[in-house]
Structure 1
């Protein structure tokens, strides 16, 4: 399974020390160099990211279509643009991305997307975590992840916690 990630799913899970959850779900995650650079700006997760790269679980690949990246950068940030371009290059099975505009653009290119909240719901359904709400609360409180109340409630319902 080819999985490409943007910065936010990795950084947010890293901040709450739950990157191991992604390792249980995906055999490998591929990121473009700009996403690696963005991740390394988070001093609290730098050692973990370096370890995951050295282990081969987190793999760095350069997108092959700079023109597409330039086009995408007209509306998206560099990490999102490169991640979408790389996912298209690899015909990835999944793109991990959270930002609404990036998700919309990725969907327009026919990519299958998954955000951090979908990852939590799936982890609960697979029995990898006992409950979604504690991790969701940690994302909000520790990582500054923004979730409106309606979405928060939908995630708890999808996790059979409400």
Structure 2
């Protein structure tokens, strides 16, 4: 089973559009560091999507503390605590995949040879595996809930999906 560690953003974004369950279907267990749990569940207590994430934490989302605190502190010079803990835990546990959306932590993770995927990539992967029917509809839902995606990336994804759909249906 692949070792997958998530930052807050993919959890929150997918919960907002009622698609958090696709993570469980893609990866039976997701790990989050304590800072991500604190950010999402404790500090986000009043947000409607928190209940869905908290339920996941009781079953398939596992909270694991980071042991290498000096690494987290060094990363926090540039990243927020959750992102720093995701990367540090990814290194500690030799993660197969990190779920990260923000640019800076993605760059750091890549420089450390950690494999990453963001929310949009998760939606695309879920579509490719037949878990969702209309990826562009889900991406538009994300945008309507405040998830930022550049116009350039949106157009690129749209072209890719249209190309795949047309090659599968002559």
Partner secondary structure for residue 159 of structure 1? helix
How many residues were matched structurally? Answer: 160
Partner secondary structure for residue 48 of structure 2? coil
**1:98 and 1:114 in contact (8 A); partners too:** yes
Does 2:121 align with 1:112? Answer: no
Which runs of 4 or more aligned residues in structure 1 lie more than 4 Å from their structure 2 counterparts after TM superposition?
none
| Structure 2 equivalent of residue 46 of structure 1 | 50
Task: Give TM-score scaled by structure 2 length.
Answer: 0.90
**What does 1:1-162 align with in structure 2 at a 5 Å threshold?**
1-40=2-41, 41=44, 43-55=47-59, 57-142=60-145, 144-160=146-162
Q: Specify every segment of 5 or more residues in structure 1 that has no aligned partner in the other structure, as ranges.
A: none
Which shows bigger deviation, 120-129 or 36-45?
Answer: 36-45
Q: Specify every segment of 5 or more residues in structure 2 that has no aligned partner in the other structure, as ranges.
A: none
CA RMSD of aligned residues (A): 1.3
